[in-house]
Amino acid sequence: MKPVSVVVVDDHSLFRAGVISCLERDPAIRVVAEGASGREAVSLCAASKPDIALIDISMPDDGIAAVGEIAAMKLDTRIIMLTVSENEDDVLRALDAGAVGYLLKGVSGPELVNAVKTVAAGETFVSPNLAVRLVTILAGGKQKRQVDALSAQETRTLQFVAMGLNNRECAVQLGVGEQTVKYHMTNIMKKLGVRNRVEAALVARTEWGSLDAQAVGEATDDL
């Protein structure tokens, strides 16, 4: 199997070297480039088209601004923030810009490797302590009532999204058109009071826990 390609961007060279060393201990991960600024993050992703970009927030040229530029390039690169910031505003700004993962720099080596593999597999990953706080903010402490307000088709759609499926893959599973999935996602985000798919998936996982693809698929057959 092809290794997960990663770009690491952080302006602290010693920390960056430690991250790279940790990742490269796993044969399933290959670091293809490294940089020290937001501008370098954009250029390295454009040139290398990695599976994963690990990007700090607080560095020259602003890491979150770089995330927005990378997302706008429509690459297959999935972005994880790796930062010291536990500020909820930073988390929300990063997710809005296009990040699908958010890790704190105190993360252990195995946790970092697991997060990279999880995101590379199509899922989202937010440090657990941040995820709980974030869901509370997003849903105002009422996420269960909001999830229960979803229609049956919206519920199935959100369950597939929470498992990491994109709109096209959701459409195949649900037996509907991709535009229908987009319509459902618009309604889902409005009902949950969230701004993007990552936040919707966080609410879903907090409410439902881990999801089994076969069980969701079987339930969908009954719709």
Q: Average pLDDT of 71-87? A: 93
Q: Which two tokens stand for residue 23?
A: 């990742």
Least confident of 13-17, 91-95, 98-102, 214-218: 214-218
35-72: buried (b, 16+ CB within 10 Å) or exposed (e) per residue? Answer: bbbbbbbbbbbeebebbbbbbbbebebebbbbbbbbbe
In this structure, how many other beta carbons lie within 10 angstroms of the beta carbon of residue 165? 21
Q: What is the pLDDT of residues 123-164, one digit of tens each?
A: 888 887 787 677 666 655 444 557 788 999 999 999 888 887
Domains for the chain: give ranges and CATH numbers: 4-126 (3.40.50.2300), 138-221 (1.10.10.10)
Least confident of 70-74, 110-114, 197-201: 197-201
Mean pLDDT of all residues belonging to the chain:
86
pLDDT at 217: 44
Q: What is the pLDDT of residues 180-217, one digit of tens each?
A: 999 999 999 888 888 788 888 888 877 776 554 444 44
pTM equals 0.71
pLDDT at 215: 41
Is 90 exceeded by the pLDDT of residue 59? yes
Given a contact cutoff of 8 angstroms between Cβ atoms, the answer to whether 39 and 56 are in contact is: no
Confidence band of 221 (pLDDT split at 50, 70, 90): very low
Q: What is the pLDDT of residues 156-173, one digit of tens each?
A: 999 888 887 888 889 999
DSSP bridge partners of 164: none
pLDDT at 214: 42
Given a contact cutoff of 8 angstroms between Cβ atoms, the answer to whether 70 and 79 are in contact is: yes
